[in-house]
Structure 1
Amino acid sequence: MAEIPGWRDYYLGHDQAAHYAYGKRMLKAIALQFPSERRWILKGNQHSEQLPALMANYPDAYVVQTFRDPLAIL
């Protein structure tokens, strides 16, 4: 792990909505090939910091955030 402020500032300074739109298109393509009634679950820590972009592309999404006791995971 390293602190890289240049990359952090670059990443947070760019709108990620286009990337989520691309991901949504890819999920639709996969769902077209493998039809199912099941729902998609997108799990990733980076989604927590991109909630506006995520909700812009997936307006009907449910967001579940869990809390873990910091002492217990140490």
Structure 2
Amino acid sequence: MTQRPSLTVSPGGTVTLNCSSNTEAVTNAHHPYRFQQKPGHVSRTLIYETSKKHLWTPLSSSQVNSLGAKLP
């Protein structure tokens, strides 16, 4: 998997998360996870097992289903 290590966005802004794989590594045993870490806070999981989201994840289902998910 290849993706940028971090992105910064202003309050109210939007960031697009993209990743790519040079193999077909997304299988039953290997899933991408997305984390959010705000300055001064611990990181938390936003998306797990490719497209499942936690209740606190500020994403619509259609945003989660795209690995180019946008965070509000």
Provide TM-score, normalisation by structure 2: 0.31
Provide TM-score, normalisation by structure 1: 0.30
Structure in which a larger fraction of residues adopt strand:
2
Bigger RCO of structures 1 and 2 (CA < 8 A, at least 6 apart): 1
Q: Which has the larger radius of gyration?
A: 1
